[in-house]
Structure 1
């Protein structure tokens, strides 16, 4: 981060929420609630979170027919739909670590790539603190299976790979995916870090016959890169990096935010209308 960018972030009111594990619909709803809080109360949010139960999050325009609904039901895997595009991501309760950054749009770079550079700084810092040689992909890689985010084409703008300094004989693998969307003059970035790999469950959520090896040939994890490491250590390290990046105060959700998120989860992110058809019901339609 440049000194100017660092100073402008630190001059604002930020809170760091080390969130509880929650279902996918609520996790997505909380991002919208945080956006409203940024607008109305001037409080920006960075947070770390986990998914309980494990959840497949569909990209905004992803066809619901690409999901193996029977597999998800048998395995107890929840399904929701994100506001961001791209393919689906299986967020394992143990193997996935996720984060969110929410800030007013007029306080961050207007150029999408510049904003990615800024918002991914704490993510790269977290990898560095964990001993993972990670960086933005140096070049594009073609898609293997378009409906799956981690098997789509790898893009240098927002995909993070490891090891970053791999020799020609060792192609870097994807370790983190990151995406942004703008809503009511607020920028929301969320991302997924692979702490460990669950290839069978990841590819099993999709209605296709993909071998586990296809996934592991393309994707790596924190544990694969650095050896045995406690998940709580990795989660804490990510939270610390996010908090240091913007000089955030430790915080929690307010009761009214949690209530608003539950309502939004019920009528949008947890509804079949949204998950399968991208249709959100108004409160009056419930």
Structure 2
């Protein structure tokens, strides 16, 4: 970080579900100077704001977010109460002022959409994330369209514990394993809304896993709220409403610098069929907001009254309004790489039954 000779630098960070934190500062001899922290947060006692700025004054401009947050924590008086923000939030605002922490608008996003087989969707996730990590593709949002019913189990789940394979064969439901952790998903064409974000690691570099989930889902929550759904983020990885769980997210971090973050939400799901193919306990059923086997799980359809295509169109519009983005497409090389990966990994028994 070069010295700014007293020139003011400005950074902002909006805490997901919290308040705005603003950092104004300069850099002199490689150190933070003239630090001012402001925002619409709550802080008691008033003098604690001085503790925060004093902790930052003179810190190395190259300090990472963990170091900055730790310095703030050490400096805060014991009775300090931070409401709507945290030392980590202040650190992110400082690093944004320094130009070393990124925000959504620092990138040119592409938005993709298309129908594929379940194995191809999983293969595309891996291929596109690696392309972003390698710098050959810009950050991307991709919506999935399903060509058949499927169960997608988490990377670390047991097939026999999660899936009734005989029922799947009888009902024509394909079973595949993804590269991310988390629980099993049952999908049918037209029943779910699924998307993936392939984001540079720099976008969430100063956040722990929990904060990154909330951060990467915030645009979707706004879209759902704007459509009349009382959607909220439920740690660690769920999107929920007063009627129960709407969807769940999963992540994978790639060497070289990319984050795969994908989400599946229930639009209008056949709970009876889901219970036949998935081995779901009572506790998990309750978590999904399913009162009986005969009930359809339709939190998005019932709460919006909108067709699935319209919901997706509004979600895309919200994303581009907030973060920018233009229509893109999978390149022939990416498609060929995904086809090979689907054939050699995601459709094989060895991968599916890596955990019996």
For this structure pair, what is the TM-score category when the shorter chain's length is used for normalisation? 0.7 to 0.9
Query: Alpha carbons of 1:242 and 1:78: their partners in 2 closer, same or farther (altered >3 Å)?
Result: farther
Determine helix, strand or coil for the equivalent of 1:41.
coil
The 2-side partners of 1:122 and 1:68 are apart by 35
- Equivalent runs, 1:1-286 vs 2, <5 Å: 2=14, 8-17=103-112, 19-38=113-132, 39-66=134-161, 67-109=163-205, 110-137=207-234, 156-163=235-242, 172-184=243-255, 185-207=257-279, 216-217=290-291, 221-226=299-304, 228-277=305-354
Unaligned runs of 5+ in 1: 138-155, 164-171, 280-286
Structure with bigger RCO (C-alpha 8 Å, 6+ apart):
1
**CA contact 2:128–2:137 (8 Å) conserved in 1:** no
CA deviations on 1:146-189 (whole Å, 9 max, x unpaired) are xxxxxxxxxx23211113xxxxxxxx400111111112231110
Q: CA deviation at 1:274?
A: 0.6
**CA contact 2:155–2:181 (8 Å) conserved in 1:** yes
Query: Alpha carbons of 1:207 and 1:162: their partners in 2 closer, same or farther (altered >3 Å)?
Result: closer
Query: Alpha carbons of 1:274 and 1:245: their partners in 2 closer, same or farther (altered >3 Å)?
Result: farther
The 2-side partners of 1:56 and 1:32 are apart by 18
TM-score by length of 1: 0.80
The two structures, once aligned, show a CA RMSD in angstroms of 2.7
**CA contact 2:102–2:202 (8 Å) conserved in 1:** no
**CA contact 1:46–1:242 (8 Å) conserved in 2:** no
User: Which stretch of structure 1 is more off in the superposition, 28-37 or 201-210?
Assistant: 201-210
Q: CA deviation at 1:193?
A: 1.1
User: Which stretch of structure 1 is more off in the superposition, 101-110 or 58-67?
Assistant: 101-110
TM-score by length of 2: 0.65
Q: CA deviation at 1:42?
A: 4.6
Query: Alpha carbons of 1:104 and 1:217: their partners in 2 closer, same or farther (altered >3 Å)?
Result: same
Query: Alpha carbons of 1:62 and 1:35: their partners in 2 closer, same or farther (altered >3 Å)?
Result: same
Determine helix, strand or coil for the equivalent of 1:229.
coil
Q: CA deviation at 1:209?
A: 7.9
Query: Alpha carbons of 1:250 and 1:278: their partners in 2 closer, same or farther (altered >3 Å)?
Result: farther
The 1-side partners of 2:209 and 2:147 are apart by 31
The 2-side partners of 1:82 and 1:241 are apart by 27
CA deviations on 1:206-264 (whole Å, 9 max, x unpaired) are 246879x86623965112223x3211101212222233332111111111111111111
Query: Alpha carbons of 1:86 and 1:7: their partners in 2 closer, same or farther (altered >3 Å)?
Result: closer
**CA contact 1:203–1:210 (8 Å) conserved in 2:** no
**CA contact 1:123–1:242 (8 Å) conserved in 2:** yes
**CA contact 1:23–1:55 (8 Å) conserved in 2:** no
User: Which stretch of structure 1 is more off in the superposition, 7-16 or 257-266?
Assistant: 7-16
Determine helix, strand or coil for the equivalent of 2:337.
helix
Higher strand share: 2
Determine helix, strand or coil for the equivalent of 2:269.
coil
Q: CA deviation at 1:77?
A: 1.2
Larger Rg: 2
